[in-house]
Amino acid sequence: MTGYGSEREAYLKRLRRIEGQIRGLQRMVEQDKYCIDILTQVSAATKALQSFSLELLDEHLATCVVEAAAAGGEEADLKVREASDAIARLVRS
């Protein structure tokens, strides 16, 4: 089971809203909208994705990583390494 199971519908709703933002960007380009207006919307979509990813990461740490750490062993080491790698990817993006 995933750590975000209880929030699945809320996460899907947020992702659909972000998908709508991306479609809006496509329409803006198709309609030759002003570059700065498009960049403003790109910034908003980027921020929305960043916010989503941080919330998902927080949920993962609070559930999957904590449970694995409590069990100990190789699984705990693996989950901590995965979380660390995910954080590094988010910081670089």
CA gap 43, 11 in Å, rounded:
20
Identify the pLDDT of residue 58.
Answer: 93
Identify the pLDDT of residue 12.
Answer: 96
CA gap 86, 80 in Å, rounded:
10
Split into its structural domains, the chain has a count of: 1
* Mean pLDDT computed over every residue of the chain: 94
CA gap 89, 62 in Å, rounded:
19
Identify the pLDDT of residue 1.
Answer: 54
Residues of the chain with pLDDT under 50: none
Identify the pLDDT of residue 6.
Answer: 82
- Range of 73's domain? 5-90
CATH of the domain at 20: 1.20.58.1000
pTM: 0.83
81: tokens are 């390494």
CA gap 4, 91 in Å, rounded:
21
